[in-house]
């Protein structure tokens, strides 16, 4: 069974750094792109960016370029989303998902989500 | 920038049929496949339609998707509505730079 399991809830202060994870299982990790999606409280889904685990090529939404970094560790089949300096506006649920058919394919499966709370 | 526009909300009675639209802002919506995701409160999204009109295994055939190039739009149709279909639905596709794009989401109420 293809599965993505994300790390747990994080509570951070503005200005702190953070890395959340998304561990894949049930398939060859380097075969499928991984994407990240933000959902702010009570709002819709926003596409953040994606990475090809085979070569670490990334493609970011202009809205998130420069503010977050997407990376992978092939040795442990894990993708990461990281911030160097969090803002209160980063408070949101973050989902990872794989793209089983290529970089313009559907998102499936999705991880369960990681809640990030940024508050002083 | 390529954008997808959905109605904010729709409502219909159990047993009826509802259609949710997703209109592309520019270019051709047929340039890339359109997906539809269902999100129930407190849960991660799940796929109900991929590649315009394909249903993942486990999704009932009450769910169907289509593309209308003349109106540059995609549609999700749910027939025989059940109360369990009450959820938020998002269309998704890609722009010319292969970047993902979501519609704003449609809240479906089954009353």
The partner residue sitting opposite A44, judged by closest CB among B35, B97, B105, is: B105
pLDDT score recorded for residue A15: 98
Angstrom distances, CA of residue A63 to CA of A16, A73, B58, B104, B107: 20, 25, 35, 16, 25
- Render each residue's pLDDT in chain B as its tens digit; 111 residues: 899 999 999 999 999 999 999 999 987 888 899 999 999 999 999 999 999 999 999 999 999 999 999 999 999 999 999 999 999 999 999 999 999 999 999 999 999
What is the separation, in whole angstroms, between the first and last Cα of chain B?
Answer: 36
Inter-chain touch A104–B94, beta carbons under 8 Å? yes
Confidence at residue A103, expressed as pLDDT on a 0 to 100 scale: 83
Nearest Cβ partner of B90 from A45, A103, A111? A45
Q: What is the pLDDT along chain A (120 residues), one digit of tens a residue?
A: 999 999 999 999 999 999 999 999 999 999 999 999 999 999 999 999 999 999 999 999 999 999 999 999 999 999 999 999 999 999 999 999 999 988 888 999 999 999 999 999
Contact B100 A105 (CB under 8 A): no
With CB atoms and an 8 Å threshold, state whether B98 touches A103. Answer: yes
Nearest-neighbour CA in chain B from A104: distance (Å): 6
Supply angle C-alpha B32, B35, B38, rounded to 5.
Answer: 165
Question: Do B106 and B83 form a contact (C-beta atoms < 8 A)?
Answer: no
What is the per-residue pLDDT for A90?
98
Q: Most A CBs within 10 Å: which of B6, B38, B39, B44, as the mutation test of the A interface?
A: B44
Give me the count of residues in chain B. 111
Which residues in B lie closer than 8 A to residue A113 (C-beta atoms)? 44
8 Å CB contact between A34 and A53: yes
- Reading the block at residue A1, the tokens are 């069974």
**Token pair belonging to B25:** 């802002």
């Amino acid at each position: 069974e293809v599965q993505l399991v994300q790390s747990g809830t994080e509570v951070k202060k503005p200005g702190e750094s953070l890395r959340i994870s998304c561990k894949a299982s049930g398939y060859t990790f380097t075969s499928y792109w991984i994407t990240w999606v933000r959902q702010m409280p009570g709002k819709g889904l926003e596409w953040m960016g994606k990475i090809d685990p085979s070569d670490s090529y990334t493609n970011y939404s202009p809205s998130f370029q420069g503010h977050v970094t997407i990376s992978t560790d092939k040795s442990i089949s894990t993708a990461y989303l990281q911030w160097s300096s969090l803002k209160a506006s980063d408070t949101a649920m973050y989902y990872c998902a794989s793209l089983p058919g290529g970089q313009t394919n559907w998102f499936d499966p999705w991880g369960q989500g990681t809640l990030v709370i940024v508050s002083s | 920038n390529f954008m997808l526009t959905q109605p904010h909300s729709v409502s219909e009675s159990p047993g009826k049929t509802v259609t949710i639209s997703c209109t592309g802002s520019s270019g051709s919506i047929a340039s890339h496949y359109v997906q539809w995701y269902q999100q129930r409160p407190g849960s991660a999204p799940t796929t109900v339609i991929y590649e315009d009109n394909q249903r993942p295994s486990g999704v009932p055939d009450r769910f169907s998707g289509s593309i209308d190039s003349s109106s540059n739009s995609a549609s999700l149709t749910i027939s025989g509505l059940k109360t369990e279909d009450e959820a938020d639905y998002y269309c998704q596709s890609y722009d010319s730079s292969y970047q993902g794009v979501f519609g704003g989401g449609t809240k479906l109420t089954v009353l």
